[in-house]
Chains A and B, each alone.
Chain A
Amino acid sequence: MIFTYKIADVVFSADIRYKNTYLTMEDYLAPDEAPEFQIVITDEDLAQEKALSPYTLPDYAYESTAVYRKYIYIMIERYDAFFFHCSSIAVDNKAIMFTAKSGTGKSTHRNLWIKNFGDRVTIINDDKPIIRKIDGKFYVYGTPWQGKESLGSNISVPAFALCFLSRSETNSIGPIDTVSVVAKMMNQVVRPKDPRLMANALDLLDEFLKQVVCYDLRVNMDDEAAVVAYNGIFKG
């Protein structure tokens, strides 16, 4: 069945076969809006997702990621958008992104923010939010694809801070040099094979890095970690 969705302020339709996909994407339905493009998932697309996956799951489990793959490529090509793996939260309508190698403790750290700052914190997307430039400003958008714990909300929040998280005995937050930032981001963002698209993606990344403040954030698992990070970002 064909459904219409609005994700990152872009309306598109997708031909969905499986209920699982419908439920994953339910919060983003936009039945009254006019789609700008349509996504169709073929048997080959599902087979490709299955081949890429480290797990062997039934076909339906791969439909949603197949939709995501097609959607994100169109977003990168046409809508000044990109994504990278990070846990993103909104605090007082400012988006803070935590990125780290998997297993570093992004989720633990994000939970410390919720524990310390309660209702002031909203999870935007816990895995790979879409970052989009609109009228020269970058926004972090929630999407239906929101990680293992499926945490996120259908909101958009102005991009504010990007924290490169690592574990440490003691808590500290400080500046990080541009070359390290670019090196870390290059490992994360989708790198289109077409040189023209690649150039666009890099220009977008450069603009993004000028708008957000980047931090080297070293934390342990104590409550104090979130307070140190908060103070560095908002009072530093």
Chain B
Amino acid sequence: MDSDDDFISNMSSEEDMLPDDSDNDMSNYEDYGFDDEPDAYSDSQKETGHGKKVAYDFSFKVYQPSDIQKQQDDLINEVNMILDISKEEAAILLRYFRWNKERLIEDYMDRPGQVLDAAGLSQSAAGPPKIQVIPGFVCDICCEDEPGLESFALKCGHRYCVDCYRHYLSQKIREEGEAARIQCPSEGCTLIIDARSLDLLVPQDLTDRYHELLHRTYVEDKETLKWCPAPDCQNAVECAVKKKDLDRVVPTVSCLCGHRFCFGCILNDHQPAPCELVKKWLKKCADDSETANWISANTKECPKCNSTIEKNGGCNHMTCRKCKHEFCWMCMGLWSEHGTSWYNCNRYEEKSGMEARDAQARSRVSLERYLHYYNRYANHEQSARLDKDIFHKTEKKMVQLQKESGMSWIEVQYLNSASQALQTCRQTLMWTYAFAFYLARNNLTEIFEDNQKDLEMAVEALSEMFERPITELADPKLKVEIMDKTTYCNKRRVILLEDTAQNLAEGKWTFNVEFSGSAANGGPSTRR
């Protein structure tokens, strides 16, 4: 199947399915795509974009808090005008429909009563919310009945004293972080409190928090929007890549704050490895199953007290340091039974002994394979950190370099670009090793390994130049070399990523672990 058609076939197949959330999101996306001006999408990245529409391309857009607010306001205003309902009600309805305007309008036109009920809006028309004093009122929550007690009720008429209402709302907002779906305090009443009533009841600091929480639900409710996970960053990123696409694409997005992350799993950029493999890899590295693997490959247990023993040389006559049990390392049998053939265990060729040896050998091979990839992965991770440290030091040196060589600030920026390149390339390299660990050999893996090797060599060369003392850096020849190498590294990285991404999109990789999507079977790619 042509990869271009892939997305299209996906979209059309959605229509066969029951109208569920994903369906709506797709229509949202389409709508968005057509309504906005064509250049609204910033091209994702140099390396995957080039403006061409290819299978592994995906676009994304970064929104700042004001953009997000405006989008919500626009939608609310639109629904407010089309359906002739108040803005508060429009907002509640939109939240109920997870901001799917089309479905809201359609459903509302068909059966307004049911929609309002379901969203927690009862139909009776009433004036603006107000606090009242009603003679003979007893608050059902605190049981106070003193005359002059101020009370409040939503349209449902469940009336409670203002103090209880406040207490209830502040607990919901402050402790439970609830905003869009706070119901009337009455048992069984599903009416949702609207923003205007809330503003009337609670103090300013709480309304601020409330609006912040509301603001958040907009992003959290939409599958195409995600918060940038960088600390203190308030931007959100829009990307149309769905969960089910994640076996085909690694959607790395970069926020305006500079943070690059995967839209699929919110982790730091992990191209070229797909999210699922990343998850597996991280779990594998975090698990102490590998420790166990090592233990099983390198140690045996004392047959008597089960202490773990690593044989560090010497003969097969073992004496457990803990329990003083004497046994043969080969057959694990009692040493005393060996009679006189001390250094030649005659039970060695027994079946059980051979099985035990095979198991140990297999364990050792798989451990070595894992360690091969893990060491390289960890090495790049560490090197990226060290490169960063060096850069911080170099930053100071850049100032020094300006003074000594008479270069301008702009002219020493090549060091900055070199450092950036080193870090992104190492990040990529790091994940190529995790990716390679799960890759089953076929003729594509060779190309992949060549690309990996090229990038690695370029990165190491650049890294070496980067670490040179400041006096050498002032040499214009080295400067040109560094700049060239930087460009080369970036180019090699793009080549590697394009190659892996394309094969991923076309389902050409085979993996040695279960991988969702047809890729694991190695057969021709048909989705679903």
A and B pair up = no
